[in-house]
Structure 1
Amino acid sequence: MFDYIRFPLKLTFSVLSAMVIGFYLNLEMPRWAIMTAGIVAGGTAFAAGGDPYSGALRYRGILRIVGTFFGSVAALTLIIFTVQAPFLLMLLACIWAGFCVWLSSLARIENASAMATASYTALTVIVTIQSSGHLVLAPIYAIERCSEIVLGILCTMLADLIFSPRSIKQAIDNEADSLLVMHYRLLRICVCQHDREEVDAVWAELVRRTHTLRNMTDQLRLESSRWSNACQRLSAIQDLSLTLITHAIEIFLMQRDTSGVIPLQYSLLFEKEAKGVNDIHSSMKVLRHILTTADSGSKPVMLSRWVGAATEYLLLLNGVKSNARIFTLEKDILRREVVKSTRSAETRHAMINGIRTFLATATAALFWLYTGWTSGSSCMILLGVVTALAMRSPNPLAVAKDFVYGMTVAAPVALVIYTIILPATQQSMTLLCLTMGVVAFVCGLFLQKRQLGTMGAFAGILNAVTIDKPMAFHFSVFLDNVLGQIIGSCLALAVILLIPDNARKHTGRKILNRLMYSAISALGSDKSRRHRNHLPAMYQQLGLLQNLFPQDINKYRIALTLILSYQQFTTISVQDSQALSHLRSNLRVIARRLVSADQPPQRRESFTRLMSELKDYLTGSPGQGGEQSLHQKLERMVVLLEQYEDSFIYI
């Protein structure tokens, strides 16, 4: 029962503590502290689908503090240089908002809140100063805005410490165990040649759960520094998980193309299904003994690699559970490879998000300044908040709809609170706390269920009731706030609908080309290049491809084949001749040019030249020893590229 009401209690404590401290410190507008506490706590829970674990909320709070300072400094800078030109000032504020949303769309999603906060903070400061007509008070207002937001975030962090002392560590231990059991299941169905659909379903689930484990590790890292050793091991476990997936799929494809790759005596070992980590540990002992005593000619190399990676997984898993110091053998595993990072493939998506934000805010700003609309300031502020929060989310349209529905529901609720309940509580701080506490608690119950419209309704109620010091109940001000909120959220939804995001095909093509470049970059004898581990970045791009094209199985198979080609190329020793080295260098240059090409004719030219160079390389390689194995695998990749040529040029 307490787990169910933990988050509503935390949200209630955050809002009430921010309100009480704000009144005690005589802040000019304590409602900003209240709204910040509610949005930071409520938004994190709404995104997580429940009460977040310890650490996640504090990290986002710190990012919002940083973003608030950046936005306030930007607002003051713009006001200083354009104080005599209000139209230019508002135009630059809208450009700043679009720029920050563009940057937040390129950043990792857990780090995007800093730039999103900087976006609407600058817009809020400039709009409020512009509507009041007292530009000389801009520095004072910016300082007050920062202090109120910091107060709200600190109250949220305090509530998180009191009501959410639970750690994500136990959940990570269970997830790492079940992930290894699922890896063993994938190996069984690959060795025993089950249906392709079952293999696709299991490996897709493994990729998803590996990314989930990575996100959980990030939360554990934020929770406390005492988990640093466990986090290092978990990072290596995630890379090993991707390696195990690749080896298993390679076994499946080789078993399908060449029967008997895995001898019958090994296949019989996988008849029994593993129910837990202890069963897998016992199976690994048997497999290691058999593989060690077997002749080199009859030993299945791919199975040996899988067993080796699984053994390292088990070793690191014991260290994760104990959180003991890292031993020498574990250090060798952790230092073995350098993980290669990659830039975001959503560059066009980020540009569209920035354009959407700029056009929405600029249109509203011009209309407000031209007509003197009394609800214009409230509309501008909410428009900046909605666009900043919606554009970085995986589904901007759903977030915009949430605010539209929420603001519509918030209007009658806020009307009752503002006109009937709040005036009756002015002689008692206890009654005021009771009123706002009930609102926060009820909204908290719906927020952790991710009920559509709840986040927008909660933010709308907190903003519409305008808890300031001293409290002044002017119905015209309330009406302006409510109308501005509703119209601003509707305008944000209209902009998202009118400016469609057509970057999906562009992003999909760029992902496939980057995967192809990573596979080609594995060709060669340069140890420093082959030492870099591209698998985490490649699987991250594969996950993005799954989100963009959830029903297109062909794209998954193209991407997975390229990942397998990369893994195979890194394990093959090739000749270090000058002629072949020059050909491999040309291949990397042309592949990089194909990735960066913007127009279809340029991509067509680069792709045609790449195919010609690949065929020249196949002709020039001797086809003996390691080169023979490379020759066969490279031929398969050339056939794949030719078969899906349009996917690398036009998609």
Structure 2
Amino acid sequence: MGIFTIESRHLRFAIKLASAIVLALFVGFHFQLETPRWAVLTAAIVAAGPAFAAGGEPWSGAIRYRGMLRIAGTFIGCIAALIIITSMIRAPLLMVLVCCIWAGFCTWVSSLVRVENSYAWGLSGYTALIIVITIQTEPLLTPQFAVERCSEIVLGIVCAIMADLLFSPRSIKREVDRELDSLLVAQYQLMQLCIKHGDSEEVDSAWGALVRRTTALEGMRSNLNMESSRWARANRRLKALNTLSLTLITQSCETYLIQNTRPELITGTYRELFAAPVETVQDVHTQLKRLRRAIAWTGERETPVTIYTWVGAATRYLLLKRGVVSNAKIGAAEEEILRGEPVVKVESAERHHAMVNFWRTTLSCVLGTLFWLWTGWTSGSGAMVMIAVVTSLAMRLPNPRMVAIDFIYGTLAALPLGAFLFLVVIPGTQQSMLLLCLSMAVLGFFIGIEVQKRRLGSMGALASTINIIVLDNPMTFHFSQFLDSALGQIVGCVLAFMVIMVVRDNSRDRTGRVLLNQFVSAAVSAMTTNAARRGENHLPALYQQLFLLMNKFPGDLPKFRLALTMIIAHQRLRDAPIPVNDDLSAFHRQLRRTADRVISAGSDDKRRRDFARLLDELDIYQQKLRVWEAPAQVTEPVKRLAEMLHKYQHALTIS
């Protein structure tokens, strides 16, 4: 029964993919496009890509969003190709080499922008390369070729979107509502664990899972926003809920940490209140009422600040959650929450990784160019295109090597599959459009099922098979041309794989060090008396960095604890009543400049010197706080921060 359910779930998308391919094929031939193959290929990739990433049928809006990114990337690539060709048409070799650098530049940019937008930049790099390579014999036809390419790709995207809408795309709204309930229950259970001050490994596992779930919820918000404009109010609420969820995690973990030195801060009253088990959102709602009554009875001053902040954030979470579920008009109380602090965007910590990606793409494309010129092989241009495609699309993913292997397997599978279609099926159906559409529908249907299972080579086989079979207008059947094209794809993928293996990505440790120093800088920047700076919301950016750190170093608990401690220090210092005077304000600016130099240092020696200077300045700052009679709410977190930096000085300064 379970197998039948899984297969049934896969069937709808397989039919959707087959429909997109058939629709693009029919419309392309109907309007007498010169190369309907590009429309069919685009429809297949736009529809299948999100399904491969999701491991099943993509949510509503995902295919449409990917299509828009592909249109944007295609237009950027076409414009770049036109500029390169018109500027260097008299030097063909230089023109191709500049295009290789452009492909590397686009890969570099795609490594720094948001993951969901990186596809457009990667696509623009190899689009320009395809145009430059294709028009080598007739450069005067460049504008016509660029226009045709854009029109064919737009047609394929429209067909993919139409097929998606035709077969009732899945809405993610119900999943969002369910996750909001489950997440709040998990947040309460984490706070229970932290107040009990139980096993540290259990707490680490619980907060790590909550960080991942909160990040996943933010991804679900993006999907809901892509789905329809009618979820605009829910989207606003979910943005605020992301911050509230991160606030709850931070306050829970701080509650755990403060008990290491001052367990008496958590009184028996709150231990008893949090001891009651919760299973549903209604249970949490009931417990929050009791906690609010307890806070009103004991008073805000007598309530531990972490519990007081946690209860306030959980109450606001409940209010916004109801609004997301109902999607009702935003009330005055909600509007006040939504108008909260401006969210700060952090600078990417993967600049070295992006530079490695630049060199991988550029060198592989240049290697393809030299191979093409040295051999004089007619399909050397096809090998170059595959090199650009593989390196541009693989670099942003966590495991580029496996992506390259996927393409190799796909191109190898496309050789016999494409040969069967090219030699047997298509020649027998070229007199009947219906039979041709049916044969392509069968291809799309079966590969569509495999794509959802993330079968190794399935995406590469789909794209490579469509690319090598003859879907031009008029159709011609030259087996030598087919074989050259198929072998060119395989050679291109193998060359790309070789470059990825030779040009090692040694940026992991450096990225980890930069991330940790960014946490330090954020904690230092919280020491300010500037009202606008204190009003900035750094939590989403800090936890985004923490999530990246968790992905780069899975299982490295000391790094996660250090990062989390820095986040807690940032939040505590941000709310601390620092005395307002010119002396401290000037020293705050000095501390921020020193912290920035630690991040931007080009060598370990310079980083160690700047870090030692930062530690000395923190000692001076603590003396100044004593001179200006700062309260314990300021001096204690500053002291804890300085002690933490002294303790982990080696980890924060060595690449």
Provide TM-score, normalisation by structure 2: 0.97
Question: Are 2:11 and 1:12 aligned?
Answer: no
Matched, 1:89 2:101: no
1:35, 1:463 within 8 Å by CA — same for their partners in 2? yes
Is contact 2:577–2:633 with CA below 8 Å preserved after alignment? no
Contact 2:411 2:489 in 1 (8 A): yes
- Please name the residue that 1:160 is paired with: 164
- One-letter code aligned to 1:502: N
Residue type at the aligned position of 2:83: T
1:60-75 maps to which residues of 2 (within 5 A)?
Answer: 60-75=66-81
Aligned equivalent of 1:471: 475
Whether the 8 Å CA contact 1:16–1:436 is kept in 2: the answer is yes
| Aligned match for 1:583, one of 574, 583, 587 | 587
Query: Of the candidates 278, 284, 290, which is equivalent to residue 282 of structure 2?
Result: 278
Residue type matched to 1:318 in 2? Answer: R
Give me the whole-angstrom Cα distance separating, in 2, the residues matched to 1:223 and 1:449. 24
Contact 1:509 1:647 in 2 (8 A): yes
Query: 1:622 is paired with a residue of what secondary structure?
Result: helix
Query: How many angstroms apart in 1 are the aligned matches of 2:30 and 2:50?
Result: 27
Matched residue SS, 1:216? helix
Stretch of structure 1 that moved more, 370-379 or 357-366: 370-379
Give the CA RMSD over aligned residues.
1.3
Once the two structures are TM-superposed, the CA of residue 572 in structure 1 deviates from its matched residue by 1.2
Residue in structure 2 matched with residue 314 of structure 1 by the alignment:
318
Cα separation, partners in 2 of 1:40 and 1:297, compared to 1, 3 Å: closer
Aligned to 1:441: 445
The residue number in structure 1 matching 2:145 is 141
Give the Å deviation of 1:299.
2.2
2:29 to 23, 26, 41: 23
Q: Percent identity?
A: 47
- Which has the larger displacement, 426-435 or 16-25? 426-435
Distance in structure 2 (CA, Å) of the matches to 1:66 and 1:560: 38
CA distance in 2, matches of 1:519, 1:204: 21
How far 1:477 sits from its partner (Å)? 0.6
Question: Alignment length, in residue pairs?
Answer: 649
Output one character per residue of 1:23-61: Cα deviation in whole Å (capped at 9) or x when no partner: 001111110111111111111111121111111110110
CA distance in 1, matches of 2:170, 2:508: 39
Which amino acid in 2 is paired with 1:557?
Answer: R
For 2:286 and 2:486, locate their aligned partners in 1 and report how far apart those are by CA, in whole Å: 65
> Structure 1 pair 624/268, CA: closer, same or farther in 2 (3 Å)?
farther
Between the aligned partners of 2:597 and 2:262, the Cα distance in structure 1 is 36
How far did residue 85 of structure 1 move?
1.4
List per-residue Cα deviations over 1:186-218 (Å, max 9, x = no partner). 000001111000000010011111111111101
> Does the 8 A contact of 1:623 with 1:631 survive in 2?
no
Structure-2 residue corresponding to 1:41: 47
Q: Does 2:322 align with 1:328? A: no
Task: Specify the alignment match of 1:112 in structure 2.
Answer: 118
Distance 1:617 1:625, change over 3 A: closer
Contact 2:378 2:484 in 1 (8 A): yes
Q: Tell me how far apart the structure 2 counterparts of residues 290 and 624 of structure 1 sit (CA, whole Å).
A: 35
Counterpart of 1:430 (choices 427, 434, 437) is 434
Maintained 8 Å contact 1:622/1:628: no
How many angstroms does 1:336 deviate by?
2.1
Q: CA deviation at 1:371?
A: 2.8
Q: Quick check: 1:376 aligned with 2:370?
A: no
* Residue 616 of structure 1 pairs with residue 620 of structure 2: yes
Write the distance in 2 (CA, Å) between the matches of 1:247 and 1:623. Answer: 30
Gaps of 5+ in 1: none
Per-residue deviation, 1:582: 2.1
Distance 1:162 1:171 in 2: 22
Relative distance call for 1:367 and 1:508 in structure 2 (3 A) is same
Correspondence for 1:192: 196
Query: Where does residue 361 of structure 2 map in the other structure?
Result: 357
Match of 1:397 in 2: 401
Q: 1:625: Cα distance to partner?
A: 7.5
- Aligned partner of 1:597 in structure 2 is 601
**Does the aligned pair in 1 maintain the 2:197–2:256 contact within 8 Å?**
yes
Q: Counterpart of 2:389 in 1: which secondary structure?
A: helix
Q: In the TM superposition, what whole-angstrom CA distance separates every residue of 1:52-73 from its partner, at most 9, and x where no partner exists?
A: 1111110110111111111112
- Which residue number in structure 1 is paired with residue 104 of structure 2? 98
> What letter is aligned with 1:365?
T
Cα deviations across residues 122-141 of structure 1 (Å, max 9, x unaligned)?
111111112xx112211111
Separation in 1, partners of 2:265, 2:167 = 56
- Shifted more, 71-80 versus 494-503: the winner is 71-80
Aligned-pair CA distance for 1:81: 1.9
Deviation at 1:626, TM superposition (A): 5.5
Which residue pairs with 2:351 in the alignment? 347
Instruction: Give, in whole Å, the separation in 1 of the partners of 2:538 and 2:195.
Output: 26
**Structure 2 contact 81–131 (Cα < 8 Å) conserved:** yes
Q: Which has the higher mean CA deviation after the structures are superposed, 254-263 or 373-382?
A: 254-263
1:380 deviates by 1.0
Partner SS state of residue 121, structure 1: helix
CA distance in 1, matches of 2:168, 2:544: 30
Deviations 1:382-407 (A, max 9, x none): 11111111111122111111101111
The residue that corresponds to 1:79 in the other structure is: 85
The answer on whether the counterparts of 1:56 and 1:223 sit within 8 Å (CA) in structure 2 is yes
Q: Tell whether the 8 Å contact from 1:6 to 1:164 is kept in structure 2 after alignment.
A: no
**Does 2:105 align with 1:129?**
no
2:651 aligned with 1:650: no
Q: How far, CA to CA, are the matches of 2:283 and 2:650 in structure 1?
A: 46
Measured against aligned partners, the alpha-carbon deviations of 1:51-110 in whole angstroms (never above 9, x if no partner) come to 111111101101111111111121122112222211111101101111111111111011
Instruction: Give the unaligned 5+ runs of structure 2.
Output: none
Query: Aligned AA for 2:128?
Result: A
568, 573, 577: which one pairs with 2:572? 568
Q: What residue number does 1:526 align with? A: 530
Distance 1:432 1:483 in 2: 25
Pick which of 568-577 and 364-373 moved more.
364-373
